[in-house]
Amino acid sequence: MMAIVRRAVIALCLLLAACVPGPEKAGELTRVSMQEYFRYDPQFKGQGIEVLEVRVTGGQDKQLEGVATIRHAGKTHEVPVIIVLDAVNLAWFAQPGGLAFLARKPGDATTGTLK
């Protein structure tokens, strides 16, 4: 009886491990998550931010590294991101200062100041 339970637990673990998406799917899921965030967060809403692509460039297990291509104010920016995911949850984090270009007002582009 104990061997059957052990086999069932091992099978369940293998099944759950197989549920973690591959790099292409993880990138697309992250792109959608980022786009929804920029679309509905009051700080960014209405700025016309478009997340074009998220490419997974490395990492292992449940923490991946990637680069998000974001269009804002007619310019395209490459933003390093960390993607943390499991079979159920996905979270992304921009590198410190990676989204600083979103805080600029159009007239401030030459000054480099953040508002």
What are the tens digits of pLDDT across the range 78-95? 999 999 998 789 999 998
Domain count, the chain: 1
Q: Does 13 map to a domain?
A: no
Q: Is 9 helix (H, G, I), strand (E, B) or coil?
A: helix
Predicted local confidence at residue 77, as pLDDT: 97
Residue 44 structural domain: 20-108
* Cα dihedral: 16, 84, 35, 26 (round 10): -50
Considering the domain boundaries, does residue 14 fall inside one?
no
pLDDT single digits (tens) 12-46: 454 455 567 889 999 999 999 999 999 999 999 99
The number of C-alpha atoms within 13 Å of 91 and in the hemisphere containing its C-beta is 4
The reported pLDDT for the residue numbered 37 is: 95
**d(Cα 54, Cα 94) in Å, to the nearest integer?**
12
Residue 81 resides in a domain: yes
Q: Residue 91: name the closest of 30, 37, 19 by CA.
A: 30
| Per-residue pLDDT, 21 | 81
* 99 belongs to a structural domain: yes
CA 59 to chain centre: 13
- Please report whether residue 64 resides in a domain: yes
Q: What is the reported pLDDT for 3?
A: 53
| Residue 15 within a domain | no
